[in-house]
Chains A and B, each alone.
Chain A
């Protein structure tokens, strides 16, 4: 009898991240870890500023409760709960900077899946407290995020682990690029950007201590830069800005961070995200 595998042969019959260790932060609008029993997001509605925790139904965001709560108004995300079990929740306590999840009673989606809308004009962003998302001794990490940017030439930051590693979209003379930066400030790896929903992933390679940036299934963006060491401290992890500037104008649907070098996990997560989010 032929065997069929869902997305990847390396994943068991549970949820996507059940088989992986060293998970340091998981932000998603779908449930990715069986052991996680908490909420997905906390939402503030515009009609009276009341807030409500929204969970999952059948492994995805409980959109029925969300839309009922928000009514005909807007819904803003005040907390994006971390599913890793580490409690590294991403929070925005300032009303005008909270990303949007419901717009005038309609769920925000990107490629037909729920997504958070970030608007640079109002500086929308989310941040954790001081957290350890990269490996505490080596600085190694693996991540995979699902995001898109709007068509402007402005520089904008997608993910920023302050003073450790940052993924941004930067405008060049004739094109724009997703750039991976580390504390030294030198662009470590680049890949051409566009306005599509993309899977953007990266990992360290300890054999020659290089950093890699990947877009979707390609390996474009392999770094030419090497490092003798990588920064490894604790810092804030931000979605959507750096230094109160370079605000993201676009969408974020998911971000998974592993505090280790794990190419097996990166490719498995990437392949799953490509299939689930319908990335071309």
Chain B
């Protein structure tokens, strides 16, 4: 099932999506990949709100590369007050190099609790009609 996480700025949403993807790539294989983000980021048609569209915790496991750097992601979540030290440690343990991890295992509980589903997003005016 698709979930949406709401952000107040495009930069925040893109940072999360980009850092999640960076955990999964090996810079020694391809230093200039076309792919930059793991999940899609969309803008509300009328408000300054951004949403990252992610799969649920049943998502396909992501590869964790051999030198993952979760610091930028954790720093942003901490700055927003969404991630405490205990949870940071817990999440870091799951980002083990050369293994796989599910998205739902490495995002803060506070983010997961704020997920919106497609029907809620439609009610909130995120999608226009075909015209």
Contacts and interface: CB of A to CB of B under 8 A. Distances in A.
Interface string A179-209: 0010001000000000000000000000000
A96 B130 contact: no
Nearest to A49: B25
Contacts of B34: 42, 44, 51, 78-79, 91-93
A155 interface: yes
A85 to B, nearest CB: 20
A231 to B, nearest CB: 13
B21 interface: yes
Interface pairs A-B: 8 shortest CB-CB: A185-B131, A78-B34, A244-B42, A245-B127, A50-B29, A94-B37, A93-B36, A243-B128
Nearest to A168: B130
19 contacts: A42-B34, A49-B24, A50-B26, A50-B29, A78-B33, A79-B34, A94-B38, A94-B39, A95-B24, A96-B38, A96-B39, A96-B54, A96-B55, A98-B35, A122-B2, A157-B130, A168-B130, A244-B126, A246-B130
A245 B128 contact: yes
Interface residues of A, number: 32
Contacts of A50: 26, 29-30, 33
Contacts of A44: 33-35
Contacts of B25: 49
A181 B130 CA distance: 9
A212 B35 CA distance: 37
B130 A97 contact: no
Most buried by A among B2, B30, B34: B34
B66 to A, nearest CB: 10
Contacts of A96: 38-40, 53-55
B2 A121 contact: yes
Interface in B12-38: 17, 21, 24-26, 29-30, 33-38
A272 interface: no
Contacts of A244: 40, 42, 53, 126-127
A243 B45 contact: yes
Interface string A150-165: 0000010100000000
B73 interface: no
Interface residues of B, number: 28
A92 B33 CA distance: 11
B94 to A, nearest CB: 19
Q: Is the interface of A mostly helix, strand, loop or mixed?
A: mixed
Nearest to B33: A51
Most buried by A among B29, B39, B130: B130
A51 B33 CA distance: 6
B33 A48 contact: no
Contacts of A51: 30, 33-35
Given A95-B38, A123-B40, A49 B26 contact: yes
Contact of B37 (A42, A93, A170, A242): A93
Contacts of B39: 94-96
A189 to B, nearest CB: 15
B30 A97 contact: no
Nearest to B127: A245
A65 to B, nearest CB: 16
B96 interface: no
B63 interface: yes
Most buried by B among A95, A98, A170: A95
B67 to A, nearest CB: 13
Interface in A6-56: 42, 44, 47-51
Given A79-B34, A94-B41, A121-B2, 6 more contacts: A48-B26, A93-B35, A94-B35, A96-B53, A155-B130, A246-B130
